[in-house]
Structure 1
Amino acid sequence: MSRIREKNQELIIQVACQLFAEQGYAATKVADIAKVADVPKPNIYYYFKAKDNLYRAVLESVTLPLLEASKPIEQLDDPSEALSEYIKAKLRISRDHPYASKVFANEVMSGAKYLPEDIAEKLHAQSTMIIAKFTGWIERGAMADISPQHLMFTIWAATQTYADFSWQICKVMEKDQLDEQDFADAATFLTQLVIRGCQLEQA
């Protein structure tokens, strides 16, 4: 892929992320994306063929990092270290992919009507892996006997809120946008909360 083609695709996906997040899938027109991106409408069809394909590219821009984020859970044996790294990875997604995160959240809240089946299956397999790993730690006495499902849900909610509810969070914190220190502070706090809740020692 040429650098120009790659750059144009990245621009279109970035603009589509914002418009899909703000307006929803159905209300967002390809013409709207072309206008904001300042590219000819035929270029979008040239690169993506159809609006559905562009929407998939937007979803992949956040689901691929989401799938990568669980690598610490999968690969590390120490629950404290694994949970700490997982929380950091999830917060990086909220920091680096805020609009795409909102698109994904809106898609899930609307019943995942447009979520491609293969992506849904990968996300479900990831959840199954995480729950199994948490269960294994509990069974060997490495972690408190807590609900592995609700631990996973809590981490999801606590990390993704920094993207999905950024307007509210920024209002409370009286700033236009969150900075690096805000995400670092969030990682420290959430890690301590989870570690203590699971009765673990800090890694």
Structure 2
Amino acid sequence: MTKFSKGEKTKKTIVKRVNKLFNKKEMLLTWDEMAAELNLSRSIITNYFPRKELLILAIYYEFEHTLKLFLKNHNQNSEATSLQHLKVYYSGVMDLLFEYRFSISYVLVNPMNDEALRSHLDSTYENNKIRLLDRIKNLVKFGIINKALLKDDNFSSFTFQHTNLLTTWVISYRLYDKNLGYKKMKPIYLKGVLDCYLPYLTSKGKFDYDNL
């Protein structure tokens, strides 16, 4: 079990509480507003995060750490052998995206003058493509997906569509659907992601899809 210093624990607590606060308020608050909402002094927050951009990035990296643990656990306990497995996997990913929705949408929409972040996002995208390709290869092996999806041009367009739906729905939710609630909208977003596979389903895959 990892041990943290008092300062590290305080920093992590601030990150978690501010994440919940930003999600609740749906806006980037001032330092004084944050301090008042969290019942902390402004100096305690700014001691760890002298700029709001750094606080947003800390929340975003906390999301990535949590997602990494989820992926590790998921990969250890199951593999993509059916669309039902995919549905469970995407459902878990979407729940994490929703938990960190404000910081994720902020990072995606607001350009940050941070070369390290830009490089990190590019690297993350490439790693996600590798995982996606492995997942598809597994579904091809189990007769769910037609191997035509593995062709470079098909996979490239599929990846573009799949990645955008799986990541930017948090922006659409905040802009258009938050009054309807996540519980109501999640099945629609989830179906949208799974529908990316529709053109490449085998007869077995279509049967699997119809029984989700």
Alignment of 1:91-106 (within 5 A): 91-106=94-109
Quote how far apart the aligned CAs of 1:159 are.
Answer: 3.2
Aligned length: 188
The residue type equivalent to 1:40 in the other structure is: S
8 Å CA contact 2:23–2:102 kept in 1: the answer is yes
- Residue of structure 1 in register with 2:44 after alignment: 43
Cross-structure match for 2:192: 190
Change (3 A) 1:37 1:96: same
Q: Write the distance in 2 (CA, Å) between the matches of 1:88 and 1:11.
A: 24
CA distance in 2, matches of 1:115, 1:69: 27
Match of 1:12 in 2: 18
Q: Distance in 2 between matches of 1:199 and 1:163?
A: 27
- Aligned residue in 2 for 1:153: 160
Quickly say closer, same or farther: Cα 1:155–1:86, change in 2 above 3 A. farther
Contact 2:18 2:34 in 1 (8 A): yes
Partner in structure 2 of residue 114 of structure 1: 114
Relative distance call for 1:56 and 1:42 in structure 2 (3 A) is same
Letter in 2 for 1:184: P
Task: Find the aligned partners of 1:155 and 1:80 in 2 and give their Cα distance.
Answer: 15
Evaluate the alpha carbon distance shift between residue 44 and residue 164 of structure 1 in structure 2; reply closer, same or farther with a 3 A threshold: same
Once residues 161 and 124 of structure 1 are traced to their aligned partners in structure 2, the CA distance between those partners, rounded to angstroms, is 14
- In structure 2, give the amino acid aligned to 1:84: K
CA shift at 1:98, angstroms?
A: 1.9
TM-score (norm 2): 0.63
Root-mean-square deviation over aligned CA pairs: 3.9
Contact 2:105 2:168 in 1 (8 A): no
Find the residue that maps to 1:113 and give its secondary structure. coil
Give identity over the alignment, percent: 6
Q: Deviations over 1:143-191 (max 9, x none)?
A: 2213223323322322334321224432xxxx7241424313432x236
Q: Distance in 1 between matches of 2:75 and 2:196?
A: 14
Secondary structure of the equivalent of 2:18? helix
Distance 1:56 1:96 in 2: 15
Residues in 1 aligned to 2:44 and 2:128: alpha-carbon distance in whole angstroms: 37
The alpha carbon displacement at 1:102 in A equals 0.9
Give 1:34's aligned amino acid: A
Structure 2 unaligned blocks of 5 or more = none
User: What are the ranges of 5 or more consecutive residues in structure 1 without an aligned counterpart?
Assistant: none
8 A Cα contact 2:79 2:85, kept in partner: yes
2:169 is the counterpart of 1:169:
no
Structure 1's 160 and 119: CA in aligned 2 closer, same or farther, altered over 3 A?
Answer: same
In the alignment, residue 171 of structure 2 is paired with which amino acid?
A: D
Letter of the 1:89 counterpart:
G
What is the distance in 2 between the residues matched to 1:169 and 1:129? 32
1:99 Cα deviation from its structure 2 partner: 0.8
